A and B are shown apart, each in its own frame.
Chain A
């Protein structure tokens, strides 16, 4: 919220922050081991980023800078959880974080590429994405509708995500070389 007087966030910062939301979310989800509470941690991260907006150097890659904050917020979230709720030990979580950060990427383009890749899926697979992610149906219900075992439906989604990941990589690779 802003008042009549200036003192808000720089427009450039807001643009980058907005563009990187999907990537930050994916990062946090990967470190936490699931979607549950990831949005809360993302909001905390956003808050910290906004508070430190003045320290951001526009020459630096935004995401790399933001990942540090996200990582700290995940660590801070961990301290508030019962041990049994934590999927990964801290050491493993940091390994995952390092690996995630080592991959060069452009958040906004990755999301756009994914959108394009979903559109290019054959109708049946697109319907699977729509059911699972659009309408939020759990895999077991989708399996029941398709009259297949839950394991088989799970494997279907695994392959689907793998195909989408490959498509995203290919799309971004093509963009880079063209």
Chain B
């Protein structure tokens, strides 16, 4: 095996372009020669460190490891998307519009507004009084608008929300997509996020997946004011630092902001976390509880399910769902406070591994119902655990449903998921749901 072959294999491995056969060839050389291993480490190390140096500005504090930092991945080629847009434009009669502001888009979903499904348009402004409109820009970014809303299209990578709320799904193609409002300049780093600009001069930004950076308006080149990861939300108002938004109302599929869907039972959720860098939100999904509903606002893969062979408990189905975040689970002094405006039943789903925490046992009744959440990565649990079972190689955990009747409006405080009487159990964050009394 000569030096040149080794270099070629090594390079292919580094670029991620190696075929299975090439990887196997490389492995064989490395296995046989320590000198080759040294060379490989030298190459990979410099490669990794150069990648790191480029990406590190966005990385979260490692001591807050559970807040996922931005991944160090190659930026998709923005110029390619723009070039693709240019080709489309220049090939048509729209060419003359290219140098003006505005963007080409396709209507991919529409409800209750005058746009037509499948329409291809070149517009500078979109305004809808009601209903919803989903457009796909030439950059690949998909923008969902909820009326009433007004959006200005600067180009396929840059929009300005004048009022209303939008959800942008930028995927991997349109990384760097920008949403401006009067209060903020939001730069997406490959993600799905919601922006809502209200006439009351504030902007809400919530991240569902991935990472976004929020800058002061018209300060593109300064450092971001905040970097938000999945499960984070902030409100930005004029001349104020972005403040954590503790609860947001989500659409039925919990993939976009939906202020109109706020619950009439729980109007606010809060907690005693004082860390100013913490920006997790509780996600309220009206009537969202049921099979497949998300448990947390971080990690969308964990969902609620009926116990194997059973139906989802009728009592819980259609209740308002409050998605918590699992990074709370080690906080022994955690307190979550809900503002309740109507008599209701409050449900707390507690992992059955340990006896329920004292505050649950004291004020709540065990309904006898159980739910399972998952899938979890099997290694997350000790092997002797009997409260989980496997399906398709994934682990599911069993939670008991506890209930508390709230007969008058007021504030209800919930405690930590940890049970000090069983300190060795890795706690699981509990789930929440609430149902208005008939």
> Does chain A have a CB within 8 A of B69?
yes
B275 touching A1, Cβ below 8 Å: yes
Binds A, one of B49-57, B130-138, B149-157, B214-222: B49-57
Q: Chain B nearest CB: distance from A145 CB in Å? A: 11
B13 touching A87, Cβ below 8 Å: yes
Task: Name the contact of B46 in the complex, choosing from A13, A39, A164 (C-beta under 8 A).
Answer: A164
Task: Count chain A CB atoms within 10 A of each CB in B11, B63, B71 and give the residue with the most.
Answer: B63
The A-contacting residues of B in range 347-386, CB under 8 angstroms, are: 377, 379
User: What A residues does B392 contact at CB under 8 A?
Assistant: none
Q: Chain B nearest CB: distance from A121 CB in Å? A: 12
* Interface size counted on chain A using CB atoms at 8 A: 67
Q: Which residue of B lies closest to A29 (CB)?
A: B48
A99 touching B272, Cβ below 8 Å: no
Task: Name the contact of A79 in the complex, choosing from B38, B75, B379 (C-beta under 8 A).
Answer: B379
A30 touching B23, Cβ below 8 Å: no
Interface string of B12-54 (1 = CB under 8 A from A): 1111100010010011001100100110111111111111111
> Does chain B have a CB within 8 A of A26?
yes
A34 touching B7, Cβ below 8 Å: no
User: What B residues does A136 contact at CB under 8 A?
Assistant: 54, 73-77
The B-contacting residues of A in range 127-166, CB under 8 angstroms, are: 129, 132-139, 141, 151, 154-155, 157-158, 161-162, 164-165
B327 touching A1, Cβ below 8 Å: yes
Per the bound structure, the CA–CA distance linking A137 and B75 in Å amounts to 7
> Does chain B have a CB within 8 A of A76?
yes
User: What A residues does B73 contact at CB under 8 A?
Assistant: 35, 136
> Does chain B have a CB within 8 A of A2?
yes
User: What B residues does A21 contact at CB under 8 A?
Assistant: 52, 56, 59, 62
Q: Which residue of B lies closest to A14 (CB)?
A: B63
B333 touching A95, Cβ below 8 Å: no
- Given A1-B327, A129-B50, is A30 in contact with B63 using a C-beta cutoff of 8 Å? no
- Given A47-B66, A165-B45, is A154 in contact with B8 using a C-beta cutoff of 8 Å? yes
Q: Which residue of B lies closest to A24 (CB)?
A: B62
User: What B residues does A5 contact at CB under 8 A?
Assistant: 333
A47 touching B16, Cβ below 8 Å: no
Q: Which residue of A lies closest to B6 (CB)?
A: A158
> Does chain A have a CB within 8 A of B421?
no
Per the bound structure, the CA–CA distance linking A95 and B28 in Å amounts to 13
> Does chain A have a CB within 8 A of B65?
yes
Q: Chain B nearest CB: distance from A23 CB in Å? A: 8
> Does chain B have a CB within 8 A of A62?
no
- Given A92-B31, A154-B11, is A114 in contact with B53 using a C-beta cutoff of 8 Å? yes
User: What B residues does A133 contact at CB under 8 A?
Assistant: 50-51, 53-54
B48 touching A18, Cβ below 8 Å: no
A99 touching B27, Cβ below 8 Å: no
> Does chain B have a CB within 8 A of A124?
no
- Given A17-B62, A110-B49, is A3 in contact with B56 using a C-beta cutoff of 8 Å? no
User: What A residues does B391 contact at CB under 8 A?
Assistant: none
Task: Count chain A CB atoms within 10 A of each CB in B7, B15, B75 and give the residue with the most.
Answer: B15
B15 touching A139, Cβ below 8 Å: yes
Q: Chain B nearest CB: distance from A95 CB in Å? A: 6
Q: Chain B nearest CB: distance from A152 CB in Å? A: 11
Q: Which residue of B lies closest to A26 (CB)?
A: B48
Residues of A within 8 A of B (CB): 1-5, 9, 13-14, 17-18, 21-22, 25-26, 29-30, 33-36, 38-40, 43-44, 46-47, 49-50, 76, 79-80, 84, 87-89, 91-92, 95-96, 99-100, 110-111, 114-115, 118, 129, 132-139, 141, 151, 154-155, 157-158, 161-162, 164-165, 168
Residues of B within 8 A of A (CB): 7-8, 10-16, 20, 23, 26-27, 30-31, 34, 37-38, 40-54, 56, 59, 61-69, 71-77, 272-275, 277-278, 280, 327, 331, 333-334, 377, 379
| 7 CB < 8 A contacts A-B | A3-B272, A44-B65, A91-B31, A99-B37, A133-B51, A154-B15, A165-B46
Instruction: List 5 tightest A-B contacts by C-beta distance, closest first.
Output: A46-B65, A136-B75, A136-B74, A29-B48, A26-B48
